[in-house]
Structure 1
């Protein structure tokens, strides 16, 4: 992982440079795979209702189509920060529309203050407390294979490494029994 947080990209793509109150943030897993979040600040409910679809289409055709990574194309978000409350009907229409990007609306007044922190929480789950241990359930017993997978940092493997690792564990388990 290159960065451990979202950061602002200073230069917007060319066709989006004229868009007022729009910023682009990125979280880089590696050189090729990134999570992008466009953040658009709007003043009114009506402004959001009349402009969200056009902005979505420009981002989809001019930005997402240029991404070489499938991961990056599937992990691009459009966040609208509204100074006014947005009606549930408009919110549902926009957030349930999955064309090109997933959309999030924030109208609670706190988002704009710490955009990077909010993106880290909403999109990356930085608010999840991994230091707390769950009570151990005595009825839960993991197999040897499950324990090896959990203890091996399995999530950091690529697809081939995962297949080889699981084959190795299964073969070891066969020899133990």
Structure 2
């Protein structure tokens, strides 16, 4: 599944200090992916507005097909060169309005069509899973050989350590005597 660049000519999408891209596949089922590249401060100030612009301009009956699948497959990937706080990332990714939102922080790659397709595979289609599974070698199970036999023998003792402060202290004392 390849995604092609869709030119955005709408002036609503001109947000200062942001680069914006739109990709769409040409399959029977449509997936629209918007990318907004900016620093975390700009993303913080504009992510909700951008989500609203996408909804108003692309999640309309004029643009979309009548297929239910197409309506549920709008994505926005926010790419930041710097670190995005967990609070902001959670706020963006848990917002249910209009589209699924993804935050890719500490992003320093050159953005082009190949990179867009890589991010789409990573976050949306997981199209590489079959190849990954096929390339995975058979897992071999071997017996665990501890580095320190004496410590390992202590662990085999069926003492209940969880939640028992005295038992934990006694166990630490045993370790220290070795």
Tell me the TM-score normalised to structure 2 length: 0.63
Structure 2: distance between partners of 1:111 and 1:58: 26
Question: RMSD value over aligned CA atoms?
Answer: 2.3
| 2:148 alignment partner in structure 1 | none
- Residues 1:47 and 2:42 aligned together: yes
CA apart distance, 1:98: 1.3
Q: Tell me whether 124-133 or 17-26 shows the greater mean CA deviation.
A: 124-133
CA apart distance, 1:65: 1.7
- Residues 1:8 and 2:5 aligned together: yes
Contact 1:15 1:62 in 2 (8 A): no
SS of 2:129's equivalent in the other structure is coil
| 1:85 alignment partner in structure 2 | 83
SS of 1:86's equivalent in the other structure is coil
| 1:147 alignment partner in structure 2 | none
- Residues 1:132 and 2:134 aligned together: yes
Contact 1:38 1:77 in 2 (8 A): yes
* Unmatched tracts of structure 1, length 5 or more: 136-177
* Unmatched tracts of structure 2, length 5 or more: 139-178
Contact 1:28 1:34 in 2 (8 A): yes
Q: 1:81 to 1:90 in 2, by over 3 A?
A: same
The 5 Å alignment of 1:44-83 reads 45-66=40-61, 67-69=64-66, 70-83=68-81
Q: 1:53 to 1:74 in 2, by over 3 A?
A: same
- Residues 1:28 and 2:26 aligned together: yes
Deviation track 1:47-102 (CA, whole Å, cap 9, x = no partner) reads 11110001101111221123123322210000001011000001000000010011
Structure 2: distance between partners of 1:115 and 1:82: 14
SS of 2:84's equivalent in the other structure is coil
Structure 1: distance between partners of 2:78 and 2:89: 10
| 2:116 alignment partner in structure 1 | 115
CA apart distance, 1:119: 1.2
